[in-house]
Amino acid sequence: MRRRRVGRIVSAMSEQTSVVVDNQRYWEALAPYRSGESVESLRSGARVLNEHEWAAVGDVRGRRVLQLACSVGDEALTFAQLGAHVTAVDLAPSHLATGRAKAEALGLAVDFQEQDMMNLDPDVTGFDLVFISWGGLCWAPDIDAWARLVAQRLNPGGVLVISEHHPLWEVLTVADQGQLSVSGDYFNSGRDGYVDPLKAPEITRSLGVPDLPHRSFVWSIGSVVSAVLAAGLTVRSLQEFAEADMYPGLGDGAGCIPATYLLTAVRRTQP
Ligand SMILES: C[S@@+](CC[C@H](N)C(=O)[O-])C[C@H]1O[C@@H](n2cnc3c(N)ncnc32)[C@H](O)[C@@H]1O
């Protein structure tokens, strides 16, 4: 199953799929070092989502939930613990294997699927909630196509929740003596590797970055909102948050600039 999907991705090679193949290899290389919350911690009710995310997501009991770029599945497992019917997709088979092992240990039924979120199988559809978080959206090479695809997979009245690193944080670096410098391009989304190691997946800071090509994308707030609206969704809220920990060394100034954002959008019940 794992080999068949990787082969399928490779056979349809184009610029976009070559990005997907590179990113899949990159994330596979990180898999041995990324296990997420322990089964014990999940069992005892680890706080995997923050209060703002819970307020956006609402009561998931009995709802069909799709998590995109789920990695080892801690959020997907949490939704399932609360009674949701969860499908969770990711590109990296080893991350999904970790998620499946946790689901089995917890006695939960989460449908973990190896899929490119830009090219989901047609039967991955009919969801009441689509959720993506913390370093997931930056792997979508085309924000407009991504939003269209999500809108198509939502039921009427269904909700999209994006909880992400703020694109301004993505392009700012705290240099020596607490000075901010611009290390990325807010308006020009594609980037190979990371100028600022703080923007790379957290585990790479202790590991050193695996010497493998990978390409991610900074999606400005304007591009995300425009893409979501163009896809026919109604934006319900857009919140921006400061997180002092995400600008280490900046001092009080870290409380004055955004580090994360949370966007909630709804698919209208009437066309
Ligand atoms: C930072 S992690 C996931 C974030 C998740 N919220 C978490 O905290 O674990 C990013 C994930 O995106 C996945 N990914 C990258 N490109 C993808 C794609 N095109 N389709 C699906 N998943 C993708 C990677 O395999 C990786 O597991």
pLDDT at 7: 43
pLDDT at 130: 98
Phi first, then psi: what are they for 233, rounded to 5°? -90, 155
Verify whether ligand 1 is closer than 6 Å to residue 117 (CB atom). Answer: yes
Q: Where are the domains of the chain?
A: 2-267
Residue 270's Cβ-count burial label (10 Å; 0-12, 13-18, 19+) is exposed
Verify whether ligand 1 is closer than 6 Å to residue 210 (CB atom). Answer: no
Read off the amino acid at residue 70.
C
Q: How far is the CA of 91 from the centre of ligand 1 (A)?
A: 7
pLDDT at 198: 87
What's the chain's average pLDDT? 92
Measured from the Cα of 140, ligand 1's closest atom is 19
DSSP secondary structure string for all residues of 60-99:
-TT-EEEEES-TT-HHHHHHHHTT-EEEEEES-HHHHHHH
Verify whether ligand 1 is closer than 6 Å to residue 267 (CB atom). Answer: no
Pocket test for ligand 1, best of 23, 79, 163, 205 (most atoms within 8 A of CB): 23
Q: How far is the CA of 138 from the centre of ligand 1 (A)?
A: 9
Whether 184 has a pLDDT exceeding 80, the answer reads yes
Verify whether ligand 1 is closer than 6 Å to residue 86 (CB atom). Answer: no
pLDDT at 13: 55
Q: Tell me the pLDDT band of 84, cut-offs 50, 70 and 90.
A: very high
Whether 5 has a pLDDT exceeding 70, the answer reads no
pLDDT digits (tens, 9 = 90+) for 26-48: 999 999 999 999 999 999 988 89
pLDDT digits (tens, 9 = 90+) for 200-240: 888 888 888 788 999 999 999 999 999 999 999 999 999 99
Pocket test for ligand 1, best of 119, 139, 149, 199 (most atoms within 8 A of CB): 139
Whether 4 has a pLDDT exceeding 50, the answer reads no
CATH superfamily of 2-267: Vaccinia Virus protein VP39 (3.40.50.150)
Verify whether ligand 1 is closer than 6 Å to residue 133 (CB atom). Answer: yes
pLDDT digits (tens, 9 = 90+) for 92-114: 999 999 999 999 999 999 999 99
d(CA 152, CA 126): 8
The mean pLDDT of 192-205, rounded to a whole number, is 85
pLDDT digits (tens, 9 = 90+) for 124-179: 999 999 999 999 999 999 999 999 999 999 999 999 999 999 999 999 999 888 89
pLDDT at 1: 37
d(CA 184, CA 199): 10
DSSP label of 124:
S
